[in-house]
């Protein structure tokens, strides 16, 4: 089993209309250091695709009070990271400063609450500080990207989806199932995939990993995304 992404927290500071986060029944919390270290230990023996782990699930990872220590720890263990954020916390200079000292991939979801003024500040400061942080601006196409300053970043357009509820579910082709990828929730639960908000497709726990095999779960037959590798 390879860990595709880690949920540092399932708290969120946004209420995106297209996401069911506000209906989540799962207990909210922040991943503690012990669970994080254990997860990284597992990562080292079964690295994620391209040795790059996602640091998000159903929550805003930048809310984690020790986020800087977690990101630095991954970099010191030569594990690449990508972190998807709604961008609301980019208004804080200490968050921008912390990110700009790192060299992972920050994915800013432009329609989930990011203020272009703060995105522009980050882009400008990246150039000024010669930061190695990589920035990807992800958009549905609803945001006027001409307002974003020129600089070192990429833009990626995605199609809105229904978090696995409205598709044809060709799930036999999904990498979570056929490459045995999985996600670790903040409490150490290992869950089937990045759509598994409640941890319904639980396949294990980082404290007792053993030999784990991912399997299809409730949303697979209607999943329109089906993560193909
Ligand atoms: S920021 Fe992410 S987790 Fe939070 S409500 Fe929006 S899509 Fe859902
Ligand atoms: S819900 Fe979709 S992404 Fe998740 S394991 Fe099933 S097919 Fe793959």
Rounded distance, CA 187 to CA 166, Å? Answer: 29
Q: Which residues contact 34 (CB under 8 A, 6 or more apart)?
A: none
pLDDT, tens digit (0-9, with 9 covering 90-100), for 48-88:
999 999 999 999 999 999 999 999 999 999 999 999 999 99
Residue whose CB lies within 8 A of the most ligand 1 atoms, among 15, 19, 61, for a mutation test: 19
Specify the pLDDT at position 11. 98
Query: Residue 46: which H helix or E strand, with range?
Result: none
Parse the chain into domains and list their residue ranges: 2-14+24-161+180-208
pLDDT lower than 50: segments of the chain: none
Rounded distance, CA 220 to CA 168, Å? Answer: 9
Specify the pLDDT at position 142. 86
Is the CATH number of domain 2-14+24-161+180-208 3.20.20.70?
Answer: yes
Q: Is 141 helix (H, G, I), strand (E, B) or coil?
A: coil
Question: How far does residue 149's CA lie from ligand 1's centre (Å)?
Answer: 25
Residue 49: Cβ-neighbour burial (10 angstroms; 0-12, 13-18, 19+): middle
Phi, psi of 175 (to 5 degrees): -65, -30
Specify the pLDDT at position 209. 81
Question: How far does residue 37's CA lie from ligand 2's centre (Å)?
Answer: 27
Tell which residue, 78, 148, 51, has the closest CA to residue 135: 148
DSSP β-ladder status, 105-109 and 134-139: parallel
Question: How far does residue 198's CA lie from ligand 2's centre (Å)?
Answer: 14
From the CB of 58, is ligand 1 less than 6 Å away? yes
Question: Looking at the chain, which runs of residues are DSSP E strands?
Answer: 2-6, 52-54, 80-85, 105-109, 134-139, 154-157, 181-184, 189-191, 202-205
């Amino acid at each position: 089993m390879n860990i595709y992404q880690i949920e540092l927290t399932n708290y969120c500071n946004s209420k995106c209309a297209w996401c069911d986060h506000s209906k989540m029944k799962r207990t909210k919390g922040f991943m503690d250091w012990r669970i994080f270290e254990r997860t990284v230990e597992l990562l080292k023996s079964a690295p994620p695709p391209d040795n790059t782990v996602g640091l998000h699930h159903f929550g805003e990872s930048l809310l984690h009070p020790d986020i800087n220590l977690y990101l630095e720890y991954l970099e010191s263990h030569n594990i690449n990271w990508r972190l998807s954020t709604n961008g609301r916390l980019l208004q804080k200079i200490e968050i921008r400063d912390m990110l700009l000292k790192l060299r992972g991939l920050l994915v800013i979801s432009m329609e989930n609450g990011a203020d272009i003024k703060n995105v522009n500040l980050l882009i400008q400061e990246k150039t000024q500080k010669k930061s190695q942080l990589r920035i990807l601006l992800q958009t549905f196409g609803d945001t006027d990207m001409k307002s974003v300053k020129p600089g070192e970043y990429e833009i990626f357009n995605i199609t809105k989806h229904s978090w696995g509820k409205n598709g044809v579910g060709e799930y036999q082709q999904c990498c979570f199932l056929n490459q045995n990828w999985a996600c670790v929730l903040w409490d150490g639960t290992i869950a089937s995939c990045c759509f598994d908000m409640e941890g319904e497709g639980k396949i294990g726990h980082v404290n007792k990993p053993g030999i784990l095999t991912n399997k299809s779960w409730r949303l697979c037959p209607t999943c329109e995304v089906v993560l193909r590798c």
